[in-house]
Amino acid sequence: MREALAAPDGDVRVLFADQEAAARHADLVTAAHAAGAAVHIVAATALAPLTGTVTPQGLVAVCGARAAALAPVLAAGPRLLALLADVRDPGNAGTVIRTADAAGADAVVLTAGSVDPTNGKCVRASAGSLFHLPVVVDVPVEEAVAALRAAGLVVLAADGTATTDLPAAAADGLLDCPTAWLFGNEAWGLPAAVRELADHAVAVPIYGRAESLNLATAAAVCLYASAQAHAGARGEPPPR
């Protein structure tokens, strides 16, 4: 809610709040009024069905749809993107959006067949990051990869079976380039045909006995590895 109100295009249209939450978050209610949103103070029992959570916080905002297009994202000269192919789980997608934001990525692209990022669980998992960076949706994966490569980004497919692992990719300078990381479905990963669209496949090494990492964790490792490589290539000190 706070992030939606702070975003230049957050477009908060309606705010529902119960009495307790309205008193606890008076600054948000004031900000919603100032933004021109309609504010309704309602009973907690009336608000609960709108939240979709077990322990609602007492505030529900209705925002306008935020749709980013791929062309202007690429025209801005991005250095780091996350490309999600057939990612269906809203919690995973929202967490990747949050992670991409934290790693300084320029955008997240959800291909056709992926979850809608405005899904309530996805919005909550993004923890406000949905309002911090462009999220492009419904682009066919082939079209997205072709556009990314044409814009000068190296497309790296995160694939546990790849012969090149992340430390080797970093040592070879592969992560220094403007990069789009391609992540696959939670259950079946990247089909061979999609994996072959990428310039390189890179595996996150497993040092213990776990069979694999889940999507959001693997995305965090890969995106941060690229962010650190980019900072190092620019000679920047690590963030504090």
pTM above threshold 0.75: yes
pLDDT at 54: 64
**Mean pLDDT of the region 64-78:** 89
pLDDT at 63 over 80: no
Q: What is the pLDDT of residues 127-149, one digit of tens each?
A: 889 989 999 999 999 999 999 99
Q: What is the pLDDT of residues 88-120, one digit of tens each?
A: 999 999 999 999 999 999 999 999 999 999 888
Superfamily name and number for 70-233? SPOUT methyltransferase, trefoil knot domain (3.40.1280.10)
Q: Looking at 9-13, 66-70, 148-152, which range is the least confident one? A: 9-13
d(CA 135, CA 88): 15
Give the residue extent of every domain in the chain.
Answer: 2-63, 70-233
Transcribe 205-228 into DSSP letters: P--SS-S---HHHHHHHHHHHHHH
Extract the tokens encoding 84: 């999600």
Confidence of residue 240 (pLDDT cuts 50, 70, 90): very low
8's CB contacts (< 8 A; 6+ apart) are none
